[in-house]
Amino acid sequence: MAEGPVRSGKPRGNLPPLEFYVPEPRYRPGDTVDYSHLVIPPAGMVARPDEACEARETWPLTTDLIRVLGDDGRAVGAWNPHLDPETLRRILRMMALTRAFDDRMYRGQRQGKTSFYMKSTGEEAISIACAFALAEDDMVFPSYRQQGILISRGYPLVEMINQIYSNRADRLKGRQLPIMYSAKDYGFFTISGNLATQFPQAVGWAMASAIKGDTRIATSFIGEGSSAEGDFHAAMTFAAVYNAPVVLNVVNNQWAISSFSGFAGAERTTFAARAAGYGIAGLRVDGNDALAVYAAMQWAANRARANKGPTLIEHFTYRAEGHSTSDDPSAYRSAREAEEWPLGDPITRLKNHLVSLGEWSDDQHAEMDRTLAEEVRAATKEAEKNGILGHGLHHPFHTMFEDVFEELPWHLREQADQAIRERRTKWPEWKE
């Protein structure tokens, strides 16, 4: 006879039946938005530990919120990076340029010039302030919503648009979905559609830099939704184990397409707090505060450069627009959310700061916006000379088969011949 627990066969006393829990966002379409539950500490309240501190000393910073720009537009507290007005204006300009670019490309998609686009509206401070805090040869492993980094690093807008249009000047030869840029010369790793894969890759790059005794560091960005992927855990574990010189960023914009952040675990803790379990430094920062973002990235980059190891930064922000041109957010969230967002608009906040310093004015800002819109328009016209999607100006046909391998193996040679034969059958006059 078995000697284990005796089975009584009776129901379990008075215990209620188990309940399955499925998170639900606070507001759905038509709901009144009330953000009073969000704890938004005043700017300047959070201490700034030494960059070389023990990872565990950052624990309070993973649940708090690093903020520099107050409601009055002044920069306050230990995290104030004390940037000079010229740098502030450059950051502001890059943020405004990114927004102007997004607006124009969104329209371009609606006009049928390309198949797809993704804006980063409301998140410009994160990519741009981070780019300013990094050295230009630090390697970025971005997600699809860090176009601001590429723009800040001076990558030509025309090249970006060529890629978006998949035209004959597209450096990626029309192989990639629009916005999946790759720009090695600009320290911008090739974007993949597969979420979070770049997180462990960034750690590997940082490990390589350390193996070679280099001084460059790596940084990567994923959304809060993708932090649920196994790659997040892989990256955090490898970063911790090898003390990799890497800054891992989670852009918590509250939404992963139609799923609110609760489906990535946000109801129980912050994303920054996950750092603690790995023994990694963690920071949680107001993602709409360009100065706070800059300061956090600078802190983490200095720490990595000094061989003090990796940092996880959560950028707390809001995805102000749809996930992509294929998405309609009014189907799953209240239209009031973006307007009511308590951390405001990153561009307006930095602008107000510069105005309060007496270094900027509404007129200058309006003039800048006009200039930037013109700059984007001119780049668009330039790129359109190389073709728009589906209008025949694309890369030569055989390039489809190139770069699968370094050299073309026999089976791809045969398939390339077949494709060209098919082409000639359809268009007998076709020449390349």
Q: Which residues contact 161 (CB under 8 A, 6 or more apart)?
A: 105, 108, 379, 380, 382, 383, 384
Q: Pick from 46, 207, 296, 354 the residue near another protein by CB under 8 A.
A: 207
Which residue number, 139 or 275, has a Cβ lying nearer to another protein? 139
Would you count residue 287 as binding another protein (CB under 8 A)?
no
Which residue number, 196 or 292, has a Cβ lying nearer to another protein? 196
**Interactions with another protein, residue window 364-403 (CB under 8 A):** 403
Candidate segments 112-120, 149-157, 362-370, 405-413, binder of another protein by CB under 8 A: 405-413
Q: Which residues contact 152 (CB under 8 A, 6 or more apart)?
A: 94, 127, 128, 131, 132
Would you count residue 134 as binding another protein (CB under 8 A)?
no
The rounded distance, in Å, linking the Cα atoms of 175 and 230 is 27
Which residue number, 7 or 184, has a Cβ lying nearer to another protein? 184
CB of 255 to another protein, least distance (A): 23
CA 153 to chain centre: 15
Q: Sort residue 30 into left (φ over 0), alpha (ψ -120 to 50) or beta.
A: left
Show the tokens assigned to 44. 């300047």
The rounded distance, in Å, linking the Cα atoms of 101 and 209 is 33
Candidate segments 78-86, 108-116, 130-138, 227-235, binder of another protein by CB under 8 A: 227-235
Which residue number, 212 or 426, has a Cβ lying nearer to another protein? 212
The rounded distance, in Å, linking the Cα atoms of 141 and 218 is 7
Would you count residue 173 as binding another protein (CB under 8 A)?
yes
CB of 31 to another protein, least distance (A): 37
CB of 353 to another protein, least distance (A): 36
Q: Sort residue 358 into left (φ over 0), alpha (ψ -120 to 50) or beta.
A: left
Which residue number, 113 or 216, has a Cβ lying nearer to another protein? 216
Question: What angle separates helix 85-110 from helix 290-305, to the nearest 10 degrees?
Answer: 110
Which residues here bind another protein, judged by CB under 8 A?
139, 141, 171-173, 175-176, 180, 182-184, 189-190, 192-194, 197, 199-209, 211-212, 218, 230-231, 233-235, 237-238, 241, 403-406, 409-411
